[in-house]
């Protein structure tokens, strides 16, 4: 089964501090006299960014794997755990550009709520899905994902 895919939206302004950090790493390798300082700087940046996301978003990443495998019921607790963690430490998500070196325009908490709601639709628990989409809209009033999902559900209800 093919899942609908929402392409990651990039907050282009977030690339400025990230490129600055990569330039700093490159400069460190240059000062150290490394021949391939650009490659080492970029490689170190990639290792650090992946490690930060792995450590802070472990539950989120596992839930994404479950979602991709069609294991929607198993994905829900992982996304809920990710949401709860980021709700306890909102600064991680707010400053994700610097802390997680993520250029995602959509916060990870919003992604978690969206994926929980989507998972509920896939296991036939529409009312729970609606409540999560409404919660998402309450927390993120400009969320195009929540608006589109609720509009879609309303359209299906009218036709059915």
Q: Are residues 74 and 143 in the same domain?
A: yes
Q: Are residues 140 and 151 in the same domain?
A: yes
Q: Are residues 45 and 71 in the same domain?
A: no
Report pLDDT digits (tens) over 49-104.
989 888 889 999 999 999 999 999 999 999 999 999 999 999 999 999 889 988 88
Q: Are residues 28 and 81 in the same domain?
A: no
And the tokens for 6?
């929402």
Q: Are residues 28 and 69 in the same domain?
A: no
Report pLDDT digits (tens) over 97-146.
889 988 888 999 999 999 999 999 999 999 999 999 999 999 999 999 99
CATH of the domain at 83: 1.25.40.10
Residue with tokens 């299906």: 156
Q: Are residues 89 and 148 in the same domain?
A: yes
CA dist., res. 112 & res. 79, Å (int)? 5
CA dist., res. 5 & res. 68, Å (int)? 10
- How many domains is the chain built from? 2
Q: Are residues 83 and 133 in the same domain?
A: yes
Q: Are residues 124 and 139 in the same domain?
A: yes
Residue 73 domain-assigned?
yes
Other Cβ atoms closer than 10 A to 49: 17
pTM for this one?
Answer: 0.82
Q: List the domain range (segments joined by +) for residue 155.
A: 59-160
Residue 2 domain-assigned?
no
């Amino acid at each position: 089964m093919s899942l609908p895919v929402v392409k990651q939206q990039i907050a282009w302004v977030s690339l400025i501090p990230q490129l600055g950090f990569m330039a700093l790493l490159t400069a460190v390798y240059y000062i150290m006299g490394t021949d391939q300082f650009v490659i080492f700087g970029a490689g170190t940046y990639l290792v650090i960014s992946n490690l930060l996301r792995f450590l802070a978003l472990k539950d989120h990443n596992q839930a994404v794997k479950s979602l991709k495998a069609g294991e929607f019921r198993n994905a829900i607790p992982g996304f809920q755990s990710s949401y709860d963690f980021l709700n306890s430490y909102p600064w991680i998500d707010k400053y994700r550009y610097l802390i997680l070196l993520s250029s995602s325009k959509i916060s990870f908490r919003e992604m978690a709520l969206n994926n929980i709601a989507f998972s509920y639709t896939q296991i036939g628990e529409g009312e729970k899905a609606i409540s999560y989409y409404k919660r998402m809209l309450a927390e993120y009033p400009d969320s195009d994902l929540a608006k589109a999902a609720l509009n879609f559900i309303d359209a299906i209800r009218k036709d059915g």
